[in-house]
Amino acid sequence: MNNCIEVKHLTKRFEYYKKEDGVKGSLKNFFKREKLIKESVNNISFNIKEGEFVGFVGPNGAGKTTTLKMLSGILYPTTGEINVLGYIPWERNNEFKRQFSIIMGQKNQLWWDLPAKESLYLNKCIYGIDDEEYKETIKMLADLMEVSNIMDVQVRRLSLGERMKLEIIAALLHKPKVIFLDEPTIGLDMISQKKIRNFLRYYNQEYQATILLTSHYMKDIEDLCSRIIVINEGEVVYDGKSEDINSIYYDKKIITLKFSSAVDKEILEQFGIIRKYDECEAEIEVNKDDVKRLLQKVTDTMPIKDFGLSDIPLEEGLERIYERQ
Ligand SMILES: Nc1ncnc2c1ncn2[C@@H]1O[C@H](COP(=O)(O)OP(=O)(O)OP(=O)(O)O)[C@@H](O)[C@H]1O
């Protein structure tokens, strides 16, 4: 498959001035300003193939949004090259604009005082979508997101989740081939997050859309992205399969136990590493091969009310990657 996004040695350096406190400080700044430089993105390179769904993760301030803004042409890079669908994003070619979308969970594109359907209609006109196609697409997207009944409601009256679903519909009306998603599920409840995840999965598969997703919710990344690019302090520190992030833990599992009466921590320690303990509840890290034998022993000898088995959370592998830097 062809590369749809190519990034080579991309760097973004922001220059700004130190602001001193108070009136005296402002006066001083007026005559002599101290220039500061922030290297938000530092020499990153990666390629993304057509139809890939890639997670772009990193701690706060790592450079994710800055990169997405450069990929969509909102910001110029300081140095480096970007090619998206054969276009240089900051040249803002009209053909390019018709083929991508950027959705930012913290920014609105819908008009606050109008019903959502009017903002959607505005996008129809901007993108020159014909009437029949518009009707069909709106119906299909609104049904999938279950928002047909709120199209007439003024945007300011909608809940955060409802608004986000409509923001996504507005951004996808022109059926973009490339989508940059910056925290689309931020602040949403679990049900809305799941609905949006299902929708994005469907859209990616149905239209072979290429999607680059940033999210601090690891469930979004785990559920949707087979590849993850990790950025930290402006540098790419991992680019590979999501499942390999926790490869160091490949032989580990977590057993969660709930007891009907208190169990001593010392007794549990013989089974593995205690990750959490609270008299009637415990989480123990164990070797995969021992799970069956340990569960048998635990159920035979302890007042078990409930138990569960899970993998080591993705966050832990990511933390190790951040710390390694
Ligand atoms: N216009 C600007 N001027 C100066 N510094 C900036 C500017 N925009 C961003 N930065 C800095 O660049 C760094 C990267 O910011 P960016 O928004 O890309 O991070 P992020 O990875 O998206 O973080 P978060 O997860 O918190 O959204 C931050 O330290 C930020 O303060």
Write out the DSSP string of 99-128. TEEEEETT---S-TTSBHHHHHHHHHHHHT
Residue 284 corresponds to which tokens in the numbers above?
A: 């123990």
Residue 126 corresponds to which tokens in the numbers above?
A: 């901007």
Q: What is the model's pLDDT at position 325? A: 61
Q: What is the model's pLDDT at position 9? A: 97
Outline where 240-311 has alpha helix (H): 242-245, 265-269, 291-301
Residue 291 corresponds to which tokens in the numbers above?
A: 């799970």
pTM: predicted TM-score of the whole model, two decimal places: 0.87
Ligand 1 atom with minimal separation from the 63 CA: 18
CATH of span 3-246: 3.40.50.300
In the chain, CATH 3.30.70.980 covers 250-324
Tally of CA atoms within 13 A in the half-sphere of 101 that contains its CB: 23
Of 164, 212, 153, 154, give the one whose Cα is nearest residue 189.
Answer: 164
Ligand 1 atom with minimal separation from the 67 CA: 18
126-180 pLDDT, tens per residue?
999 999 999 999 999 999 888 999 999 999 999 988 999 999 999 999 999 999 9
Tell me how far apart the alpha carbons of residues 14 and 76 are, in angstroms, rounded to a whole number. 11
Smallest CA separation from ligand 1 atom 7, residue: 14
- Decide: 166 and 116 in contact? Cβ < 8 Å: yes
Architecture (CATH level 2) of domain 250-324: 2-Layer Sandwich (3.30)
Which residues contact ligand 1 via a Cβ below 6 A? Answer: 14, 16, 38, 40, 58, 60-66
* pLDDT range class, residue 321, cuts 50, 70, 90: confident
Average pLDDT of span 286-292: 89
Tell me how far apart the alpha carbons of residues 107 and 87 are, in angstroms, rounded to a whole number. 25
Ligand 1: distance of its center to the CA of 63 in Å? 6
In the chain, CATH 3.40.50.300 covers 3-246
Ligand 1 atom with minimal separation from the 12 CA: 12
Q: What is the model's pLDDT at position 317? A: 87
ipTM higher than 0.90?
yes
Residue 66 corresponds to which tokens in the numbers above?
A: 């800055």
